[in-house]
Amino acid sequence: MAPDEYTMWLEREVSGKNVEELNKAYELLMQKIKSIDPLTIAEQSEAQYVGEGVPKIVIPFLQSWFVLDLLPYRIRAQHKIFDTLPMKVLVLQHLIAAAKNLGTTVRVVGEWIDCRTLRHGAVMGAHFAKSTDEMLSRFFALPRDEKIARSMKWAGISADLGDEAFFFRFFPKLPIALVHWREDSEFPPFSKILYDVSASNYMPTHGLAALTEFLIFRLVEN
């Protein structure tokens, strides 16, 4: 099984490949974060600002959370599996993208779209066609109870979409739905990844692809 994009980033970090580029990306994003009002970050991402003691922002993520300490600035994960430089880069990308929505009408509206409708989504769709469809099909081929158990492990819940679906939140304002239609007399079985219409305003498309692959591959790996 070919690794997902996040795992490849992680392997490069561990092996020392591209670690300099990752560090540069992290430092650049952290400088951008420092220039944004912490209350704006918390409000626009639906995170929790904590002013007592060392000020920080607590950012829900799937079944866990990240903490952005503000004195000094640093980001840390609650669970070891997420405490990696690639994942921290993705969290910072989300916070910066969310903060840019201040003063706009952007919001999560519960209107689902295919990845190809996202900003730069055509490239993302082609990428998924090669790397993710098989994994998604393998997940939906599991027994119903096993799918529910694996989804709950990542804070997923059943959703009323297609013949079967599961709903997750990478972040409070970045939901994703994995949807499956069973085979019938006219069509073969089919699975799809859906995002809220606002997704491009809360994460760059390449970051959204990495998060999506991370989740689907872990659902299959259990």
pLDDT of residue 10: 58
Q: Distance between CA atoms of 203 and 208, rounded to whole angstroms?
A: 6
pTM, two decimals, is 0.90
Each residue of 194-215: pLDDT tens digit?
A: 999 999 999 998 889 889 999 9
Q: Distance between CA atoms of 72 and 30, rounded to whole angstroms?
A: 11
Confidence of residue 122 (pLDDT cuts 50, 70, 90): confident
What residue type is 185 in one-letter code? S
Confidence of residue 103 (pLDDT cuts 50, 70, 90): confident
Q: Write down the domain spans for the chain.
A: 5-99, 112-221
- The answer on pLDDT for 1 being more than 50 is no
pLDDT of residue 9: 56
- Average pLDDT along the chain: 89
Query: Strands 56-61 and 157-158, how do they pair?
Result: unpaired
On whether the CB atoms of residues 75 and 91 are closer than 8 A, the answer is: yes
pLDDT of residue 14: 56
Mean predicted confidence (pLDDT) in 155-175: 97
Mean predicted confidence (pLDDT) in 102-111: 89
Residues 6+ apart with CB under 8 A from 219: 135, 139, 150, 151, 154, 178
- The answer on pLDDT for 13 being more than 60 is no
Confidence of residue 47 (pLDDT cuts 50, 70, 90): very high
pLDDT of residue 2: 47
| Nearest in space to 115 (alpha carbons), one of 104, 94, 96, 129 | 129
On whether the CB atoms of residues 195 and 120 are closer than 8 A, the answer is: no
pLDDT of residue 20: 81
Look at 57 and 19; give whichever has higher pLDDT.
Answer: 57
Look at 32 and 54; give whichever has higher pLDDT.
Answer: 32
**Contacts made by residues 144-153, CB under 8 angstroms, sequence distance 24+:** 150/219, 150/222, 151/219, 153/63, 153/222
Q: What is the DSSP letter of 52?
A: S
Q: What is the DSSP letter of 53?
A: S
Token digits of residue 63:
């079944």
Q: Distance between CA atoms of 19 and 9, rounded to whole angstroms?
A: 9
Look at 184 and 111; give whichever has higher pLDDT.
Answer: 111
Confidence of residue 134 (pLDDT cuts 50, 70, 90): confident
